[in-house]
Structures are given as C-alpha cells and as structure tokens.
Amino acid sequence: MSTSDGYVLIALIVLPLAAVLLLMLTPSRERGGIIAITGISSFAMFVLSTYVFMRYDFTSTEQFQGVLAWPWLHNVGFLGDDGIQIKVGIDGIAASMVLLTGIIVMAGTWVSWKVRQRTKDFFILLYIVVAGVYGSFVMLDLFFFFLMYETAVLPMYMLIAIWGSTRKEYGAMKLMMMLVAASIFIFTGIFAIFTEAGIGSFDLTRLYAAEYSREMQIIFFPMIALGCGTLGGMFPFHSWSPDGHASAPTAVSMVHAGVLMKVGAFGIIRLGIQVLPEGAQFWGPALITVGIVAALYGATSALKQTDLKLMSGFSSVSHMGYVFMGLGTMNVVGMTGSVLQMFAHGVMTALFFLLIGGMYDQSHNREIPNFSGMAKQMPLWAIFFLIAALASLGLPGLSGFAAEVHIFVGAFRAYPVVGGLAVLTAAITATYLLRMASQMFFGEFNARWSALRDITWAERAGATVLVISMLALGLWPSPWVDRIATTLAQTIPGVSL
Amino acid sequence: MSDLNLDYSLLLPEFVLALTGLAVLLADAFRKELKVGRSMLPWFTVLGAAAYGGFGAGWMGAQAEFAGIFAIDAFTGFFRVLFAVTLVVVVIGSHEYVTKQIRHQGEFYAMLLFATVGASFMAGARELLTAYVGLELLSFSLYVAVSLAKDDKRSGEAGLKYVLLGGLASATLLYGMSLIYGTAGSTSYAEIAANLEHGAEDLRTPLVLGLVMMIAGLGFKASAVPFHMWTPDAYEGAPLPVTAVLSATSKAAAFAVILRLFSGPFLPVIDEWRGTIAVLSLATMVVGNLIALQQHNLKRLLAYSSIAQVGYMLMAVVTISDASASALLLHMGGYLVTNLAVFMGVIAFYNHSGTEEMSGLHGLAETNPFLAMVLAAGLLSLSGMPLLAGFTTKFLLFQAAANGGYLWLVTIAVIMSTISLYYYLKVIRQMYVVLPDGSQLPYATEPSVPQPRWSMSPSSLAVTSVLLVMILVVGLYVSPLAIVADNAAKALFAAA
C-alpha cells in the first residue's frame, strides 16, 4: 500500500462528513435527495473500504501503511514537534475493521430508508457516527483517535432516544452515561501515557517507541482495557448493551453492535496492548477470565430471554467475550481469532438486527413465544435468520467458525481449562439459537401475523451482502488471517506464536 | 521605578471605550436635543467595542508598561480582544431583548462599556491598586446592570444581593492586599515578587492571611466554591445579556488578575497557596456539577455549570506554568465562544416564548430546528464533546494539568465533566425527544407531522450562526487561537 493511498484513508472520514453537510443543505421533504445522497455515499464508502482492505500489503515489513500526516498543533504550550497531527495509516487489524465498517454501513443505510420520522436528521447523526468509527480505525494520532472515538459514541443518545422503540429513553441514557463514564478511564489513561512518555507528542508511532515504566503500565493498562472494554461490551460493564440494542432503531443496532463495539475492542489493542505491552502481559489472565465469564454469562442470559433483541444483545455480550478471551491469550493465534471474531460477530449481529427490525417494523412485537410457523409466512426472513443463527453458533463454512477455531486453539495453548469452557459456551449458544428457531419458524402458524409481509427488497439486498461476507470469511479466511497475524507478530513485543 | 513611562497613547483602547460609554449616556440623556434615536445606542456601543478590540489586537505585539502599573503586552491584548468580542456579540445578539425588557437602555449600554473598561484594567494591571480599581469599576457597573430588568422583581433582589456580597468580597480583597503590602513592602507586582523571593520567615502569618483573603476576594469574582453563593441568584435575576457578561467578561477578568498574580508576585511562595487553590478547584467542580443536576431553570443551570467550569480552570492555576497558562487561555477562548452561543440562543428563545424554564423548550427541534441545533451544540461543547470547541480546549487544559503532576485532580475533573453531560442531555432531550405538544414521537417508520415553525430576529440569527461556526472552528482548527493564547501566556511569564 503506497503513501498516496493515505488519501483514501482520509476520504473514508471526509466522505460521511461531506454527506452530512449535503444532507444539512437538503430540505427535509426531499426524500429522493436524501436517499440519493446516502445511497451514493454509502456505496462509495463500501468501495473505498474494500479497496483499502485489498491494497493493504501483508508481505511488507512496514507496520503502518498509507501513512500521511499534516501538522495540526505543535510547539504550543506543552506540545513539542509533531504535537498533534492529523495522521492516518492502517495496519492489518485496522484494514479488516475498515472493510467491516464499509459492509455494515452500506447495508444499514439501505434498511434505514424506511425511517419516515425526521429522516434527514437520522442520517446526519448516523453518518457522524460512521465518520467517528472510520476515524478511530485509521487515525494514528492519540488525540484524534480519541476525538473520533468520542464522536462515534456521542450521537447514539439522540439516535436511540428519538428513533428507538420500547423504553428508548431509558436505554439511550443508560448507554450514553455508561459509555461516557467509561471514557473517564480512557481520558486518565491517555493523560498518563502522554505525561509518562514525555515527548510532547500525541503521535501514536512515537508513543509506541517511547519507554514506560513497568509499574505505570500495570496501573494504566487496566484503565484503558476497562474504558475501551465497556464500549466493547466487556463483562461486567456490558449492561448498557442489551438495553441499548433493544431500544435502538435497526440501523443503529447494526452499526452499534456491528462496528462500534469493535471500536472498543480495537481501542484495547491500539491503546492498551500496543502502547503498554508489559501491562497487557501482566493483565492477560484477567482479560481471559473476564472474557470467559462474559461468554458464559452472556450465553446463559440469552437462554432466558424472550425478547428477540434482548436475546441478540446478550448473545453479543457472549460473542464479545470470545474477543477479550482471545486478546488475553497474548499469542498470535488467539489474538488473530479475536480480530476475526470482531469481524465475524460484526456481520453476523448486523444481520440479526436487520432481520429483527424487518419484522418488528410490521408487527411491533418481538416476543419469541408469540410467534410460530413464521417460515411459511416470511420464508426469506426465516432462511436469512437461520443462516445468521448457524454462523453465530459456529457452523463450519460460516464466519463464526473461522474465528472461534483460532480463539479456542489460542486459549487451549494458553490455558486448557479456558479452552474447555469456551467450547461449552458454544454449546449453550447452539441451544438458545436452535430453540428460538424451532419455536419461531416451525410449528403451527399463528394467524395473528397473517398480515405480515416478507422482508423488503432493501432488506433482502442488505442481508445478501452480509451473508456473502459471512461466507467469504468462513470459506476463505486467509485474506483476513494474513493481514491480522502479520500485524500482530510485527507490532506486539513479547507476543508468542 | 525612576523613569515612569507616561505614554498615554498606550491606553488608547480603554480611552475609546470609556468615551464611548460617556457618549452613549449623553446621547441617551439628550436624545431630543441631539435628535438621535434609541436605535443608535447599540451602534455606538458596537463601534466603540470594535475600535477597542481593533486597537487591542494592534497592540498585541507590544511590550510596554504604563507608569509601572499597566502592562501592554500579548496577555493584555488577548483579553482586550476577548472582552471586545463578548461586548459586540452580547450587544448585537440581545438587541431585540433590550428593546423589550430593559428599563434604561442608555444606562444599560453605558454600564456594559464601563464594565469592560474595568475588566480591561484588571487584565493589564501590574500593581495591586490598579487591579483593585479595575475590579471595582467592573463590579459597580454590573451591580447596576443586574437590576435593570423591566417588570421583574427578581432583578432588583439580585442586584441588592450582588452589591451586598460583592461589597464584602471587595473589602476582604482590599484587606488581603494591605496585608500583602505590609509583608512585601510594595504594591507593584515586580517588587512584590522580588521581595517575596528573599522573604523573611517571621512574616509568614500575615503573608498567608493576606493570600487567603485575596484568594477569597478573587474567588468571589470568579465564583469559586465556597464563594459562589451569589452566582445563581444574580444569574437568575439579571437580564439575560447581563448574565452573559457576568459569565464571560467578569469571569475572564477575574482569571486575568489571578493569572497575573499567581504567575508573578506570588510564584515565589507557591507552596503557601497551591494546596488551597487545589482544594478550591476540587470543591468548585464537584459542587457546581452536583447542584446543577437539580436545576430546572435554564439560567440557574447555566450558573452552576459556569461555576463548575471555574473549577476546571483553577486546575491550571494550581499547576501554574507557561504551558498551563497557555492551555487555560485557550480554554477560556473556547469557553467564551461556547458560552456566548448558549446565552444568545437562550435570549432568542426567551424573546419568542418568554420563558426560561427547561421544560419550556420542548419540541424546539420541530419548531425552530436551527436554534435547537445551536443550543445543542453549545451545551455539548460545554460538556466537552468532540468536534466542538469544548472537547479540544478541555482536553488540552486537562492534559496540561496532568503534566503538572495533578493527575488525581484531572481524573476528578473528567468524572465531573461526565456528570455534567447528564444535565446537558436533559435540556437536549426536551428539545429533540419531546414534541411541541409535550407528547412522545411516534414510531420511526410512521410519517412525521410537520409542525408550525417560527424564526428568530435577524440579529439573533446572525450572531448565533457566527458563534456556531466558531464553536466548530475552535474544535477542529484550533491552532490560530492556540498560538495567540500561547503568546499571551509567554508574555505573562516574560512580564513576571
């Protein structure tokens, strides 16, 4: 990937913001204009994301590629040379996440054309989130990384409180306050890292090279891990996630569970493991413990849920638990599995929320026991749902399998007991998903739902894109594995194979 | 100080401002004879303020001192421009409000002008009595301005409370100054610094007493806890534009004096006051934010939120250095723009609705989306949310304090800042989530029902648009302001 590709990385941030600006200038009654702007810009984002992923050269020894930097503020106050820069560049992990964002934003945009309340405002806020997400993945300056991270979180309150359903204000406020409270830890961590490094620069590559005392790393790694981990749905600070997702509108759930939670896990890698590797080594076992508890807890909680979205929310907690488990193994296989799982869970959960939304918009009901025999009434819906469920429980050939195998191998290598528990979790996952499927799709049709129609064309298209990505990762994972594993082996000191 | 520099042209900006004030008073008094309409008064004021700001900006590169009592440097220049911008914005943005709600318009504009003269002298003072006289001029003008609201009993009450407590604070400050004079043998900052450097140990008690009393007096002006009691009442009772000036000019001027004092004359005895200011800072941010949670009146909410902001700003005084001062001045610039945007938005809203209760805002996103956006951006910027001025300047301020070795205080500040988001979100919820008739929004896929809209006066629209843009500019392209603030901070330490 050449330096000029850095402009593509910048374009990933500028594009959604340009769409926001255009939307602001479009009158709200011009639905056609709104659909055109969002359709074109989301497709362009998808194309650029794919381009970035393909162009990333995993055979190169350069840790970050497409690096471009412009000075923003330097030699002022406590800032020295390269104080704060607008600096972009990606590694293999960021490349995979950029691709994920492109896929989910495009699918999310399509299904959101249904929104008829303040449609324009909805897309403005959604695209601010998208700009923040892309920014978090590609920024190589600590200040801007955090700025983008917060930008991605901030509009969530309004997106849920205005366009959500069932207890939306509670869900929105809980989500917002928990995530912002978690940011306290990140703030503190960043201030400590900057002070300890003492180079007067927020440049991440220079901060990677700086020296940090072991004590400092041990104190501040958990802060970063907790702060970013909360956004990633880390147990026990996950409780915003089921409530928030249950009340969020479809596309917001998709973007939030699909990519925003990944920004959290990505933050642990970027700020935590890469900057403070000794701290990460020290706290690795704790991360694994938290991960396995979350996986088990999320799965058993999902067993008990009757609301489809809550079930899916707890399932997310469980699947994100695998991610933290993989990160905690501190070996390349496990951590590669983590990043794969971030991708796999992203597309899979987005498909879940897309389908749940497609039905809820018509039925205004999500209680699993209220439905039966839906496969006859909404066959396509049922088929897509089944594919998502199978990917979720780790069927070989679909995305979840590729990811989970890596994590399990990594976990067995690090702590065999944990590996065993992880496999148990997969069994529980199969239980709640298959039980839900048999209840909802099969059996006698409940006539109450005879007015329901199968999912719309937009939803079919979105679901197809997501299923294709799941199949791609499941059948041919090497493009992802190559990029991620090379990066991990190169960038994290002290990581074992 | 043998060769006093009595170059009066150095004070030209202040002269212009004071003369404009007099001209406005006279023009108002002899309206009929001079054949000037009331509508000319704000124009005079804006012209005077613009000339003041222009001269101030022009002198920003100077390094001169007037008679050893008033420094004309980048620091003074920074504040002169800050005050000028505030005055211009407040006068234009509150034009409609003033014609409807203010009893004596000539006096109103004159008092704002005189208050700014006082503030300007506070920023430049390099001598205790000059600073004191500047502070008194600012305070007296504002005592009058606070009670100028038509048909509002709270206004007179607020004025009385403010004048009584203000008098007490100013007596405390003056007594503190006399103790410092007794200890250091001079009222000139330069000489105090020199004398305290080789200070005699046996004078420690009067020194500490003097410092404590001065901190109390200045803390009152800056509304730091526990000297903040007047703030919510004065903010609530005062006419809205005066409240804006209280939260901007008055507060910035108090910080200018604090910075001049604690970066220079009191720096040699930093161990005597650092702990006190740290405790003050902690108490201010905690109390301000926690009490703000319970407010329903917009003015009172903004009063407590402005108290909380003082707590953050005091952190930079605790860790005083040119880097901290630079971050503080930058934050002050960002805060000023943000705060003015919120106040101008609230004024525009009050002109239309006549209410300043939070619950009155419901459905504003449907009836006046632009105003709702300005208010939301302003409030989110106050709580330090990204893309907006508040995030950038607050981040740098906090990092500066962390660099100064006060990470624990910064952590508490971040926690408090998070709490503040809750009460700002409550206001935003009223505007965006509730419909104008008080009901909830229907489900997202149902078509929306268009609501009747209203629009602001052109002057309000212009001012709020400019401020909204400035919030974004400071948030995303901070370097011009940061460089100016950095030069001001360097000048501050060069003078000391």
Query: Per-residue pLDDT for B247 more than 90?
Result: yes
Nearest one of A304, A323, A134 to A238, comparing CA atoms: A323
Task: List the single residue in B415, B442, B444 with the smallest CB-CB distance to A184.
Answer: B415
A178: nearest CA partner in chain B: B418
Residue of chain B whose alpha carbon sits nearest to that of A201:
B399
Sign for the pseudo-dihedral over CA of A295, A301, A302, A307: negative
Q: What is the mean pLDDT of chain B?
A: 91
Which residue does chain A place closest to B325, by CA atoms? A77
* Domain locations along chain A: 3-491
B421-479 tens-digit pLDDT: 999 999 999 999 888 887 778 887 787 777 888 999 999 999 999 999 999 999 999 99
The reported pLDDT for the residue numbered B2 is 46
Whether A77 and B425 lie within 8 Å, measured CB to CB: no
pLDDT band at residue A447, thresholds of 50, 70 and 90? Answer: confident
Interface contact B443-A364, CB threshold 8 A: yes
Could you give the CA distance from residue A49 to residue A65 in angstroms, rounded to a whole number? Answer: 14
Average pLDDT over residues A469-481: 92
Range with lowest mean pLDDT among A457-471, B63-77, B158-172: B63-77
For residue A72, list chain B residues with Cβ-Cβ distance below 8 A: 478-479
**pLDDT score at A454:** 87
CB contact under 8 A, B402 and A195: yes
pLDDT at B317 exceeding the cut of 80: yes
Q: Which residues of B447-466 are buried (b: 16+ CB within 10 A; e: fewer)?
A: ebeeeeeeebbebbbebbeb
How far is Cα A3 from Cα A14, in angstroms, rounded to an integer? Answer: 18
Q: Is A372 left (phi over 0), alpha (psi -120 to 50) or beta?
A: beta
Confidence of residue A111 (pLDDT cuts 50, 70, 90): very high
State the residue for tokens 């420690």. B204
Closest residue in B to A142 (Cα) is: B395
* HSE-CB of B83 using CA atoms within 13 angstroms: 40
Could you give the 3-state DSSP secondary structure of residue B440? Answer: strand
Residue of B nearest to A223 (CA): B411
Question: Which residue(s) pair with A367 in the sheet?
Answer: A307
Q: Are B464 and B93 in contact (CB under 8 A)?
A: yes
In chain B, the residue whose alpha carbon lies closest to the alpha carbon of A115 is: B445
Provide the pLDDT for residue B1.
Answer: 44
Contacts of B395 (CB under 8 A, 6+ apart): A143, A146, A147, B384
Distances (CA, A) of B464 to A81, A214, B221, B378: 36, 50, 27, 10
Contact B447 A173 (CB under 8 A): no
Confidence bin at B3 (pLDDT 50/70/90):
low
> Which residue on chain A is closest to B479 by alpha carbon?
A73
* Mean pLDDT, residues A266-292 taken together: 92
Predicted complex ipTM: 0.92
Q: Are B380 and A154 within 8 A, CB to CB? A: yes
Q: What's the pLDDT tens digit per position in A170-208? A: 999 999 999 999 999 999 999 999 999 989 999 999 999
- What is the percent of chain A with per-residue pLDDT over 70, rounded to a whole number? 99
pLDDT, residue A493, reads 67
Answering whether pTM is above 0.90, one says yes
Out of A169, A195, A249, the one facing B433 most closely (by C-beta) is: A169
Contact criterion met (CB < 8 Å) for B402 and A117: no
Q: Looking at beta carbons, which residues of chain A come within 8 Å of B422?
A: 173, 177
Give pLDDT, residue A245: 87
**Partner-chain contact A188 B414, CB within 8 Å:** yes
Please, which pLDDT band fits residue B10 given cuts at 50, 70 and 90? confident
CB contact under 8 A, B323 and A147: no
What is the gyration radius of the CA atoms in chain B, in angstroms?
A: 22
Q: Cβ of A161 and B432 within 8 Å?
A: yes
Name the residue with higher pLDDT: B469 or A59: B469
Q: What six digits make up the tokens of B260? A: 């001049």
Per-residue pLDDT at B32? 85
- In angstroms, the separation between the Cα of residue B350 and the nearest Cα of chain A is 24
SS3 sequence, chain A?
CCHHHHHHHHHHHHHHHHHHHHHHHCCCCCHHHHHHHHHHHHHHHHHHHHHHHHHCCCCCCCCCEEEEEEEEECCCCCCCCCCEEEEEEECHHHHHHHHHHHHHHHHHHHHHCCCCCCHHHHHHHHHHHHHHHHHHHHECEHHHHHHHHHHHHCCHHHHHHHHCCCCHHHHHHHHHHHHHHHHHHHHHHHHHHHHHHCCCCCEHHHHHHCCCCHHHHHHHHHHHHHHHHHHCCCCCCCCHHHHHHHHCCHHHHHHHHHHHHHHHHHHHHHHHHCCCHHHHHHHHHHHHHHHHHHHHHHHHHHHHCCEHHHHHHHHHHHHHHHHHHHHHHCEHHHHHHHHHHHHHHHHHHHHHHHHHHHHHHHHCCCEHHHCCCHHHHCHHHHHHHHHHHHHHCCCCCCHHHHHHHHHHHHHHHHCHHHHHHHHHHHHHHHHHHHHHHHHHHCCCCCHHHCCCCCCCHHHHHHHHHHHHHHHHHHHCCHHHHHHHHHHHHHHCCCCEC
pLDDT at A497: 61
What's chain A's Rg over C-alpha atoms?
A: 21
pLDDT for residue A174: 92
**Model confidence over B371-392: pLDDT tens digits?**
999 999 999 999 999 999 999 9
Q: Round the average pLDDT of chain A to a whole number and report it.
A: 91
In angstroms, the CA B77 to CA B83 distance is 10
Q: Which helix H or strand E contains B64, and what residues bound it?
A: strand B64-66
Q: Do A183 and B326 touch (CB under 8 A)?
A: no
pLDDT of A450: 85
Q: Per-residue pLDDT averaged across A212-223, rounded?
A: 94
> What does the pLDDT read at residue B451?
82
> Closest to A114 (Cβ–Cβ): which among B324, B402, B445?
B445
DSSP at B450: P
Q: Average pLDDT in the A153-177 region?
A: 90
Contacts of A183 in chain B (CB under 8 A): 414, 418
User: Mutation test of the interface with chain B: which of A187, A196, A201, A453, choosing the one with the most B Cβ atoms within 10 A?
Assistant: A187
Probe site for chain A from B320, B380, B395, B406 (most A CB atoms < 10 A):
B395
Residue A347 C-alpha, separation from nearest chain B C-alpha, in angstroms: 24
Partner-chain residue, chosen from A72, A154, A181, that has the shortest CB–CB distance to B418: A181
